[in-house]
């Protein structure tokens, strides 16, 4: 215990000394470098935003903002310059002469730009806000690293620490009178390190997915909410006929929000590893026919061709599988010119379900993104609007829940070919 206390004390003192030295000689340089880098980046983004929206007609602002969001790869919004949309300090700067060319927020990684006296643009965050603390984090980590190095040099002869580590890893299999197997210790430590890295990567990916999902939800909510806000503003001065029209618009926006919430909740439940599915034995033919019946009325001019009379059995959650097939068929019907072909094959090991459309096919680079949440295909391929970019993400989650896979290829008849593979 005395040795442990002495080691802990030495580590603490070394850490304090290293921290003071780091603050004195390292922090300022790292901080200046980080601030200069972040500031230059945000200034470039501000210039890009200014050049993009200047001399743009007001009626094209929203289109230009959407284009900017795609180009910059971050959320970009246009809002009224009021206290509801901007904090007091930012609003004061934007309406003053100092904010004419836009302002940047280094702490939050945001860029603001006034497109007029009534409206302003918010873009970002352009980087994770935790990066603002990079100098502090680097300084403390450097101090900790130096402290550990110092203590390690002071106690490199303390072989008993290795003995305790060996006993904790191997237990009774490590005789106390035999030399420590350093290679085995290293192997065990590397295994533990790989496991920790894997769990850390999984956690990072989960956080990224949650962040992207929240950004997507916020983006999807803005359009119906903006329409509702606009309708409410007009409602006060509207006549009876106009009120009926605006009430109808409000009801449609509310239904749109309700459907979006349902889609998000469904996707969220499917993403949860603990979510269970109810497996039942049925035939693929029945699943496909039910799914076609659900979508046929939406596309009366499209032929959904399925002539397979083979009743391949499949064990699945019938409700979820119908949702998956319906979503793919709805997507195929949306982009088809005249027909969609559905076929089923089996090689005694896997069951393959193919759904093709005779549209123009996928745009280059879309195959790797098509199953991501809130991803929409090229609008020029679609002959109808609707959808939130969650349909195919839900499909992939359902197929994965069934231990299967889904991919998309170029169809023989010209469009896209979605291939479901079930074991």
pLDDT in tens, the chain (423 residues): 455 666 667 666 766 776 666 665 665 666 677 678 878 888 888 998 888 888 888 888 888 888 888 888 889 999 999 988 898 888 888 888 888 889 988 878 899 999 888 899 999 888 775 555 666 666 667 777 777 777 666 665 555 655 665 666 555 555 555 555 556 656 766 777 787 787 777 677 666 656 655 655 665 666 667 767 777 777 777 787 777 877 777 787 787 677 777 767 777 777 765 667 889 999 999 999 999 998 998 899 999 999 887 788 999 999 889 989 999 999 999 999 999 999 999 887 889 999 999 998 887 777 878 888 776 655 544 434 445 577 888 889 889 889 999 999 999 998 999 999 998
Domain 180-275 has CATH 1.10.10.10: no
* Extents of the domains making up the chain: 1-157, 180-275, 280-422
Structure tokens at 274: 């603990």
Q: Is 353 helix (H, G, I), strand (E, B) or coil?
A: strand
What backbone torsions phi and psi does residue 395 show, to the nearest 5 degrees?
-55, -50
Closest CA to 322 of 344, 295, 350: 295
Structure tokens at 150: 């110092």
Closest CA to 282 of 323, 307, 312, 320: 312
> Are 46 and 40 contacting, i.e. CB atoms less than 8 angstroms apart?
no
> Are 371 and 406 contacting, i.e. CB atoms less than 8 angstroms apart?
yes
> Are 60 and 149 contacting, i.e. CB atoms less than 8 angstroms apart?
no
Domains 180-275 and 280-422 share a fold: no
Cα 118–Cα 123–Cα 128 angle in degrees, nearest 5: 150
Question: Distance (Å, rounded) from C-alpha 51 to C-alpha 111?
Answer: 14
> Are 367 and 300 contacting, i.e. CB atoms less than 8 angstroms apart?
no
Pairing of strands 351-357, 339-346: antiparallel
Which residues lie below 8 Å from residue 184, measured CB to CB, with a gap of 6+?
Answer: 166, 169, 170
Q: Is 340 helix (H, G, I), strand (E, B) or coil?
A: strand
HSE-up (13 A, CA, CB side) for residue 367: 13
Task: State in Å, rounded, how far the first CA of the chain is from the last one.
Answer: 57
> Are 352 and 342 contacting, i.e. CB atoms less than 8 angstroms apart?
no
Q: Is 354 helix (H, G, I), strand (E, B) or coil?
A: strand
- Sole residue written with tokens 């300090």: 89
Domain 280-422 -> CATH class:
alpha beta
Question: Distance (Å, rounded) from C-alpha 270 to C-alpha 323?
Answer: 12
Closest CA to 45 of 64, 81, 67, 71: 71
């Amino acid at each position: 215990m005395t040795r442990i206390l002495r080691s802990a004390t030495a580590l603490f003192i070394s850490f304090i000394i290293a921290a003071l030295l780091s603050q004195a000689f390292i922090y300022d340089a790292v901080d200046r470098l980080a601030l200069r880098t972040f500031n230059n980046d945000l200034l470039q983004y501000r210039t890009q935003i200014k050049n993009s929206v200047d001399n743009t007609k007001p009626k094209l602002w929203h289109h230009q903002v959407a284009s900017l969001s795609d180009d910059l790869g971050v959320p970009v919004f246009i809002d009224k310059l009021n206290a509801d949309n901007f904090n007091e300090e930012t609003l004061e700067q934007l309406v003053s002469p100092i904010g004419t060319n836009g302002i940047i927020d280094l702490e939050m990684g945001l860029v603001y730009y006034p497109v007029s006296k009534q409206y302003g643009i918010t873009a970002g965050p352009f980087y994770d806000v935790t990066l603002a603390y990079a100098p502090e984090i680097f300084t403390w980590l450097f101090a900790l690293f130096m402290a550990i190095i110092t203590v390690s040099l002071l106690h490199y002869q303390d072989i008993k620490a290795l003995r305790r580590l060996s006993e904790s890893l191997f237990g009774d299999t490590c005789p106390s009178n035999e030399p420590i197997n350093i290679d085995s210790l290293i192997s065990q430590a590397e295994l533990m390190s790989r496991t920790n890295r894997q769990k850390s990567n999984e956690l990072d990916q989960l956080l990224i997915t949650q962040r992207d999902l929240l950004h997507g939800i916020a983006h999807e909510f803005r359009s119906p909410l903006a329409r509702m806000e606009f309708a409410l503003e007009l409602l006060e001065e509207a006549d009876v006929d106009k009120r009926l029209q605006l009430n109808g618009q409000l009801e449609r926006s509310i239904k749109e929000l309700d459907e979006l919430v349902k889609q998000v909740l469904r996707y969220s439940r499917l993403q949860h590893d603990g979510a269970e599915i109810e497996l039942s034995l049925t035939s693929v033919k029945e699943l496909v026919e039910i799914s076609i019946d659900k979508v046929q009325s939406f596309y009366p001019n499209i032929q959904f061709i399925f002539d397979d009379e083979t009743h391949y059995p499949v064990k699945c959650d019938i409700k979820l599988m119908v949702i998956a097939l319906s979503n793919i068929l709805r997507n195929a019907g949306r982009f088809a010119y005249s027909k969609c072909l559905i076929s089923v094959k089996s090689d005694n090991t896997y069951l393959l379900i193919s759904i093709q459309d005779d549209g123009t096919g996928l745009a280059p680079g879309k195959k790797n993104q098509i199953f991501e949440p809130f991803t929409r295909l090229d609008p020029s391929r679609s002959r109808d609007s609707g959808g939130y970019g969650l349909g195919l993400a839900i499909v992939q989650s359902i197929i994965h829940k069934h231990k299967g896979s889904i991919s998309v290829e170029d169809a023989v008849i010209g469009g896209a070919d979605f291939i479901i593979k079930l074991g």
